[in-house]
Structure 1
């Protein structure tokens, strides 16, 4: 480990053209001695030893090196030196290098982000080896990150512990559980060589139709979201990873997904203060290392209608100056349409830096973006001092979180990922999150023949298996998110003679075929239990079922918890973290609602 660190530092220092003198353990950049041969030795200034490793490292870097630090991208391949033809072709197209190791050596990016579809992420040991391979190739230790929010956004699956996610945590009302879950998650990520997680989500989900946040939010109450966001910031940091609160200035009240369009937030400045700001304020106070920007327009905060990622009034005026955030501002992914609607891919990185961003996430064409920033410095649109500000923050984060001193992981430690203790913690959270919205006495149910139908092939099969483990004779029949007449007919036929029907629902809207499925099943003799495995808003569109449950998640622990609640092995104790509006806009089930068993 020690020799690897020294070689990386040597590679970095050799990249600069100035002569380097090491004085008292500090690195001092001096002018080339060839230009000063005529100066008497006694008249030359004596270099003072440096005491700031960040400034030493910054001073040793060329402009190209520094611009590289501004970017975080994904690379293809299950190993740093992948020879897989598809991965090599993808890397060449997007990054101009064959593999991750060659790319980080050439561009010296600030970091790399993992995705299962790009990196395999097939086992903790594979992830750890990939991380170490990339770190070994990088002159400056990398931020290695992923989006491991849990619940509906997860990049590293089993055997890593699968927590239910944000909204189920909100339903428990247990801040200690939220902090412990993040600490466990952080420790598992760090064991696999990751040192940064793009979580928690600090958005307040006040729009039931929000297509991109939903269960990723802790709830619709600003105080609850603030408390849980702060708890998770503390937990992730305790677990050993840097943490990023997102999506500033708030993405919880939009009907547009910024991956495919440019949302507009219509809150007033006063509503922003009351609804959107508190979770970010709390996350910053708890020690958030990064804040991620959102690709959305917020006219009350910037009447130029620039996306927040490109807005100086929002990133600098609000986040830096108003909220006092001194950490790293990271953009949301720059390959999303929300930030590309008005500007070309060569302009977006420059405009983001001018707005106050530091770390540029996933530009669609890294060589183009890198060159655009260099050209902006050459033209005077950006100054090198402005580049230094951002690089200083990025290097400062790497130093403060121990990434520079200890970038690699012990690959043997990855075997502790998904331990029995960690799995038990996820199970406990799931058990306490399930919320009983309505019940005519159908639940709890002791055994019998059950049909499990509805959304999700894995979901219905896992729920049927979990019910089987709780004494039921359960059969799964998936009908999907838009069941047609044949699928509905098959489900009603399969329900004949059953003692109970459980329908898993997700993202039900007015007029949804999932509602037609539930209506057809209600016409039969068996009682029907609707189980929402996404947001609890489904309940507004399903009619008067015999019992309605909200699990908020289709992770294995949440489905197991659903089965235990149906069987009465666990009493429902979750409380709604959102209002559930009815079809006419009235509140059908209020924030805090949750029934128990007699």
Structure 2
């Protein structure tokens, strides 16, 4: 079965690479948007016929609820629910609004352990099954891998898209999605807001970056298709390719601003469209919109989320997508700058969206849609179109006929199981990318050596400490000195420590970012100060590869594209010569002094013989 799925993915990738447009919905789709015309109404049509208008409108919304329990949240979470929704529990929110979906976050206190998440999912589903039309929820979360993943330990946390792009393996992309999907299903989550199908062609992109598979639309297309197949066919989890029509060439973050992308229509066809075409050909259930303006596709100034020429004209009519169109969060500034929160949900539906994600005021949003139907601005027929797509999706994914309670013990057995961790190790080892080894420092010879590990550190993963501990396990005498975004005193401390050690490994994270000039200049200052000691230095970009363009004075450079425990363990194995680096750059690295010049070309990557 796995072989057939991968073969179909390869065929899709080759089709896209050949420049052809894949047939619309070439793979089976969850997206029939029109009622049955053969006399006997479908189960979905019969269900819609029994639903009231408020029940239908409720299905069009997915939002968050506070608390780790559906019926017994903490006092603080009960207060947060009451302030947002007028009721105290997540179960009551679902029942009050007849919600179509719930999305989990750590900040809303939904994600603590496999057992707790499984119990929460069962409780929310029981609420949905016990009121109104008795339609189960689609429970979702952002599980892209890499820097955007929500499941807590002991979940199997795979490297992100750009790391997978460096590994160049469709099989690895498929496997990561399949395993992640199985762990999501084990805790009652049936929908992942992934993969990012954006082609990152702007090194200064503040919101996509390593969330993209790379800068080559054909690479991104193949990887996107592989993940769609892995999640949906491999694990039975529905996913959403995002962010249509493509968020990869912007210097602005749509969470806080309204970006404008100046691609011509021809450039859009060449750069941005291929991954979405591949996702559609692979049978993608859902496509998520972007809060961006693309004047060549719609000159109204409306963001794509509210644009009928983009969502209906381009996505549905030109690309032939018949699935569920979901908005990105309606709480983001990019969709709220031009219209009020009462108008945004209505305009999104008029543009062609089906599922409205996380409006900032759910009560206002629901009542605005109801009022638009009452006034005739929206028709109930239009509402039925979206409800039908959503219910057909639930039917296809085995949700509509009822969701049995999730077994908490089974969730604990599945999430993070040893077989999954073994695949994680193999896949992550193939993503580490070596860019320079001029001084022939690597792989490190076996010796009694003192090593300083310093630089940027993640509070969640302690990447500095993890790398130091890994090197110590190989016989090195290590010192961990996290600097964060270092001030002059911390830089001086690191320089003094480097002078007392045989080798320094310095980790950087987005040090190239010009949107926050001073903090990132401090990271660059640290690296240059360490290089000036004359002691051997290795610089590792533990997020975006673009960092290394600033460090011509360091002759040993690597990129991991992530800073999780698995990424740091893979880096350790490369440094000590247990495995050879195999990654190839999925983006080009520009020269900071001349952005039109390339410091490292797409596809660059070193390897070396391993010591016997």
Common topology (TM > 0.5): yes
| d(CA) in 2 for partners of 1:406, 1:580 | 50
- The 5-angstrom pairing of residues 100-499 of structure 1 reads 100-138=90-128, 139-237=134-232, 238-408=234-404, 409-415=406-412, 416-440=414-438, 441-446=440-445, 447=447, 448-457=449-458, 458-480=462-484, 482-499=485-502
| d(CA) in 1 for partners of 2:478, 2:144 | 31
Q: Once the 2 structures are TM-superposed, how far is the Cα of residue 93 of structure 1 from its aligned partner?
A: 1.6
Distance change >3 Å, CA 539–CA 133, structure 1 → 2: same
Q: Once the 2 structures are TM-superposed, how far is the Cα of residue 406 of structure 1 from its aligned partner?
A: 4.3
Contact 1:249 1:294 survives alignment (8 Å): yes
Q: Once the 2 structures are TM-superposed, how far is the Cα of residue 543 of structure 1 from its aligned partner?
A: 2.6
Bigger drift between 92-101 and 300-309 goes to 92-101
Bigger drift between 348-357 and 516-525 goes to 516-525
Q: Once the 2 structures are TM-superposed, how far is the Cα of residue 413 of structure 1 from its aligned partner?
A: 1.6
CA RMSD of aligned residues (A): 1.3
Q: Once the 2 structures are TM-superposed, how far is the Cα of residue 178 of structure 1 from its aligned partner?
A: 0.6
Which secondary structure state, in structure 1, belongs to the residue aligned with residue 505 of structure 2?
strand
In the alignment, which of 500, 503, 507 is matched to residue 503 of structure 2?
500
Which secondary structure state, in structure 1, belongs to the residue aligned with residue 558 of structure 2?
strand
Which secondary structure state, in structure 2, belongs to the residue aligned with residue 451 of structure 1?
strand
| d(CA) in 2 for partners of 1:350, 1:453 | 51
| d(CA) in 2 for partners of 1:125, 1:522 | 48
Task: Name the residue aligned to 1:41.
Answer: none
Contact 1:527 1:546 survives alignment (8 Å): no
Contact 2:115 2:408 survives alignment (8 Å): yes
| d(CA) in 1 for partners of 2:211, 2:244 | 15
Which secondary structure state, in structure 2, belongs to the residue aligned with residue 433 of structure 1?
coil
Write out per-residue CA displacement over residues 221-277 of structure 1, whole angstroms, 9 at most, x where no aligned residue: 000000000000000012121011000000000000000000000100000000000
| d(CA) in 2 for partners of 1:122, 1:474 | 33
Q: Once the 2 structures are TM-superposed, how far is the Cα of residue 411 of structure 1 from its aligned partner?
A: 2.4
| d(CA) in 1 for partners of 2:39, 2:353 | 32
Distance change >3 Å, CA 135–CA 50, structure 1 → 2: farther
Write out per-residue CA displacement over residues 562-591 of structure 1, whole angstroms, 9 at most, x where no aligned residue: 111111111111000111111112111111
| d(CA) in 2 for partners of 1:538, 1:407 | 46
Task: Name the residue aligned to 1:554.
Answer: 563
Give the length in aligned residue pairs.
Answer: 550
Which secondary structure state, in structure 1, belongs to the residue aligned with residue 82 of structure 2?
helix
Task: Name the residue aligned to 1:85.
Answer: 75
| d(CA) in 2 for partners of 1:387, 1:59 | 12
Which secondary structure state, in structure 2, belongs to the residue aligned with residue 545 of structure 1?
coil
Contact 1:431 1:561 survives alignment (8 Å): yes
| d(CA) in 2 for partners of 1:154, 1:210 | 19
Write out per-residue CA displacement over residues 108-141 of structure 1, whole angstroms, 9 at most, x where no aligned residue: 1110000011134111111000000000000210
Contact 1:82 1:99 survives alignment (8 Å): yes
Task: Name the residue aligned to 2:48.
Answer: 58
Task: Name the residue aligned to 2:18.
Answer: none
| d(CA) in 2 for partners of 1:287, 1:200 | 13
Write out per-residue CA displacement over residues 316-336 of structure 1, whole angstroms, 9 at most, x where no aligned residue: 000000110111000000000
Gaps of 5+ in 1: 1-47
Which secondary structure state, in structure 2, belongs to the residue aligned with residue 325 of structure 1?
coil
Q: Once the 2 structures are TM-superposed, how far is the Cα of residue 49 of structure 1 from its aligned partner?
A: 9.4
| d(CA) in 2 for partners of 1:72, 1:486 | 48
- The 5-angstrom pairing of residues 547-586 of structure 1 reads 547-583=556-592, 584-585=594-595, 586=597
TM-score by length of 2: 0.88
| d(CA) in 1 for partners of 2:411, 2:51 | 34
Q: Once the 2 structures are TM-superposed, how far is the Cα of residue 412 of structure 1 from its aligned partner?
A: 2.3
Contact 1:257 1:263 survives alignment (8 Å): yes
Which secondary structure state, in structure 2, belongs to the residue aligned with residue 119 of structure 1?
coil
Contact 1:497 1:526 survives alignment (8 Å): no
| d(CA) in 1 for partners of 2:159, 2:474 | 20
Moved over 2 A (4+): 48-51, 408-412
Write out per-residue CA displacement over residues 387-407 of structure 1, whole angstroms, 9 at most, x where no aligned residue: 000000000000011012342
Task: Select the structure with the greater relative contact order (CA < 8 A; seq sep ≥ 6).
Answer: 2
Contact 1:435 1:572 survives alignment (8 Å): yes
Write out per-residue CA displacement over residues 138-187 of structure 1, whole angstroms, 9 at most, x where no aligned residue: 02100000001111101112101010111111111110111011000000
Which secondary structure state, in structure 1, belongs to the residue aligned with residue 248 of structure 2?
coil
Contact 1:131 1:144 survives alignment (8 Å): yes
Q: Once the 2 structures are TM-superposed, how far is the Cα of residue 471 of structure 1 from its aligned partner?
A: 2.6
| d(CA) in 1 for partners of 2:437, 2:553 | 10
| d(CA) in 1 for partners of 2:39, 2:334 | 47
Contact 1:580 1:588 survives alignment (8 Å): yes
| d(CA) in 2 for partners of 1:226, 1:493 | 47
| d(CA) in 2 for partners of 1:50, 1:81 | 40
Q: Once the 2 structures are TM-superposed, how far is the Cα of residue 50 of structure 1 from its aligned partner?
A: 4.7
